[in-house]
Amino acid sequence: MSEEQDRLVHTLLEQDLGGETPPDLTARILRRTCDTPRRRHWLAVAAAATALIVLVGAGWLIFAGKSYPDPFAQGDYQVQDGGAVRRGATVIAGAGGAQLALGDYCRLELAGQTRLRVEGDPKAERVFLESGSVLCEVDRNVGTFAVRTDVGSVSVTGTKFTVRILDGRADGNRTSRQMVVKVLAGAVLLSGAWGNMPLAAGDEKTVGDAQGRTVTPSTPEKEAPKAEKPRPEAPRPEVTTGTIVKVEGTVVRVQPTDSHAREVGLETDAKTAVTVDGVEARAANLTPGMKVTITWGAGMNAKVAATTR
């Protein structure tokens, strides 16, 4: 008997004879989808109830003398130009990292040496990540939250995610940068010059060079730079996105999304990390027509994330 077969029988006996019943998750899942009920009657009831709650809540806040909380930081940090943490201020985390609370519903963990500017408005919190890495945990259904970077922005429709800025090659006064977004729970919407991209729990996405553009560190008001055509002798990007055009044995040939870029060949082996539609797979599962994102490592080491759409 295989270990897996033994484990299956053991687990089922443990659950069934031990009185463990799989829970009905329907109600909990529906609550978290924030879906709109279809019946107008219930919409009206919900709207009326919400309005009542808002009125009562607002009245209570006025009488209680409480107001929307100011941004609050603790840990190892300093504020550029001094003073307290406030909207418009840039917070620079020291080596020990820092924590930032926004509006009582957004909690941010700044890794050491992270630079982040506090933007946004009450119930529409927003930060601009200049460099470093931040872990964000956002309560649902309170207000909106977004992390902007000069590579793109991440809007929250879920609860927990990290954003990291990677500084790459310098080229004159321009710097190649990438934004790495990893969703730990819930979902986020990634936006940039390339369009919108929803990410769900477990997803990790690197954007920047992969979109065929080089960006300069910008001021918050500055528009995102326009896309550039790659130069003829450009070094290989750290990430390539495109479509598989051919699979020849262990070699997968990819036409990058950027029509100016030449076809790319990837030699796969047993160690090549491959996912198809978010599920771990083997290089042999890659077929022409799949959209792929290749994250290049040292030598020919690469991670390949493919989708069948």
Partner 1 sequence: MGLRRSQAGGVRRLNRDELICLVHQHQVEVYRYLRYLGAAPEVAEDLAQETFLAAWERSRRGPAEPIARPAAWLRGVSRNLFLAHCRRQKASPVRVDSESLERAEMGWLHELDGTGGIEDYLGALRSCVRELPDRQRQIIELQYVQKRSRAQIAAEHGLTEDGVKTLLRRVRAGLAQCVQRRLRTGGITSR
Question: Residues in the site for partner 1, rule: CB under 8 A?
Answer: 1-18, 20, 22-26, 28-30, 32-33, 35, 37-38, 157, 184-187, 198, 200-202, 277-280, 307-309
Instruction: Between 5 and 259, name the residue whose CB sits nearer to partner 1.
Output: 5
Residue 165: its H or E element:
strand 160-171
User: How many Cβ atoms are within 10 Å of 205's Cβ, its own excluded?
Assistant: 19
C-alpha to C-alpha distance for 260 and 263, rounded to whole angstroms: 10
Q: Which residues of 38-69 are buried (b: 16+ CB within 10 A; e: fewer)?
A: eeeeeeeeeeeeeeeeeeeeeeeeeeeeeeee
**How many Cα atoms sit within 13 Å of 240 on the Cβ side?**
26
C-alpha to C-alpha distance for 305 and 139, rounded to whole angstroms: 30
- Give residue 126's identity as a one-letter amino acid code: R
Output the smallest distance, CB 97 to partner 1, in A. Answer: 17
Instruction: Between 11 and 80, name the residue whose CB sits nearer to partner 1.
Output: 11
Instruction: Between 2 and 259, name the residue whose CB sits nearer to partner 1.
Output: 2
Instruction: Between 11 and 250, name the residue whose CB sits nearer to partner 1.
Output: 11
**How many Cα atoms sit within 13 Å of 204 on the Cβ side?**
14
Instruction: Between 7 and 231, name the residue whose CB sits nearer to partner 1.
Output: 7
C-alpha to C-alpha distance for 39 and 42, rounded to whole angstroms: 5
CA nearest neighbour of 76 among 100, 52, 104: 100
Output the smallest distance, CB 104 to partner 1, in A. Answer: 24
Output the smallest distance, CB 8 to partner 1, in A. Answer: 6
Instruction: Between 6 and 171, name the residue whose CB sits nearer to partner 1.
Output: 6
Instruction: Between 121 and 277, name the residue whose CB sits nearer to partner 1.
Output: 277
Output the smallest distance, CB 140 to partner 1, in A. Answer: 11
Chain Cα centroid distance, residue 143: 18
Q: What is the 3-state secondary structure (H, E, C) of 79-142?
A: ECCCCCCCCCCEEEEEEEEEEEEECCCEEEEECCCCEEEEEEECCEEEEEEEEEEEEEEECCCC
